[in-house]
């Protein structure tokens, strides 16, 4: 899991980063609002931890701008703890709000809850189907015991298929859930990425898991389901 931490207090950054990396999260840090916004918009993250009081651009402005362009879980961290502060943060697009100081276990619980909400209940478990083993926590994938390296986007696509096992999903469904976009009618981006994924997890294995329903979309299931 890739987490972006936007926080200007060095001690807080060290505390959060060390704890999260011990839990197998990958953490990147921005120490001011403008850099945090730039990183959030240019890179792919699973979750953003965002302080309210930041140099350059405050956290509420950063949150509002991110939310207008991307659907990423945002957990705001702040010493401002009045009801109005909480409401203001949520109104600007935050998914949750944690007051400083906080216990690290509470931060972990909030992170897990936000990730489950976005990616489904399988996020911290291992899923197995047709010899395919997916560890949702560290994003590792194996088929018949053989490690398979996926890009972040391929992993999100696989996770979407797993959460919709046995369900016909259209190209538009996939585009909206994986790219937060409908693309144009002539775009073949979804087909290209499904093919990338199929070549990695299906091409040299049986049973096949990704099935094309021509003119309609895809269905993820074991061949004989």
Give percent of the chain above pLDDT 90.
45
The C-alpha atoms of residue 157 and residue 197 are separated, in whole angstroms, by 8
In the chain, residues under CATH classification 1.10.10.10 are 123-220
How many Cβ atoms sit within 10 Å of the Cβ of residue 40?
24
Q: What is the pTM assigned to this prediction? A: 0.55
The residue among 80 and 69 whose pLDDT is bigger is 69
The stretch 120-128 carries a mean pLDDT of 65
In the chain, residues under CATH classification 3.40.50.2300 are 2-119
For 74-107, what is the HEC assignment? EEEEECCCCHHHHHHHHHCCCCEEEECCCCHHHH
The residue among 152 and 56 whose pLDDT is bigger is 56
- Classify 48 as helix, strand or coil: strand
The residue among 211 and 18 whose pLDDT is bigger is 211
Contact 78, 99 (CB under 8 A): yes
What local confidence, expressed as pLDDT, does residue 187 receive? 67
> Per residue in 86-118, pLDDT tens?
677 677 788 888 888 889 989 998 898 888 777
Tell me the pLDDT of the chain averaged across its residues.
86
Contact 174, 218 (CB under 8 A): yes
Of the listed ranges 17-31, 91-105, 117-131, 134-148, the least confidently predicted one is 117-131
User: Which ranges in 120-181 belong to alpha helices (H)?
Assistant: 152-163, 171-178
CATH superfamily for 2-119 is Response regulator (3.40.50.2300)
What local confidence, expressed as pLDDT, does residue 115 receive? 84
Among the four given CATH numbers 1.10.760.10, 1.10.10.10, 3.30.1330.30, 1.20.1440.130, the one describing domain 123-220: 1.10.10.10
């Amino acid at each position: 899991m890739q987490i972006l931490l936007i926080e200007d207090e060095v001690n807080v950054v060290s505390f959060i980063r060390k704890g999260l990396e011990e839990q197998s999260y990958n953490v990147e840090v921005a120490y001011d609002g403008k850099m945090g916004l730039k990183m959030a918009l240019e890179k792919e993250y699973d979750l953003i931890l965002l302080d309210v009081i930041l140099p350059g651009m405050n956290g509420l402005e950063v949150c509002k701008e991110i939310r207008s362009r991307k659907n990423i879980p945002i957990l705001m961290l702040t010493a401002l703890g009045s009801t109005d502060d909480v409401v203001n943060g949520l109104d600007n697009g935050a998914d949750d709000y944690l007051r400083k100081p906080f216990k690290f276990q509470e931060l972990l619980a909030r992170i897990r809850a936000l990730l489950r909400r976005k990616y489904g209940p399988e996020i911290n478990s291992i899923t197995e189907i047709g010899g395919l083993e997916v560890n949702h926590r560290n994003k590792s994938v194996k088929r018949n015991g053989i490690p398979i390296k996926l890009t972040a986007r391929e992993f999100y696509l696989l996770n979407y298929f797993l959460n919709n096992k046995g369900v016909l999903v259209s190209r538009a469904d996939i585009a909206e859930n994986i790219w937060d976009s409908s693309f144009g009618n002539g775009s073949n981006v979804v087909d290209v990425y499904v093919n990338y994924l199929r070549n990695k997890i299906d091409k040299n294995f049986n049973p096949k898991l990704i099935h094309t329903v021509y003119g309609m979309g895809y269905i993820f299931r074991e061949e004989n389901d």
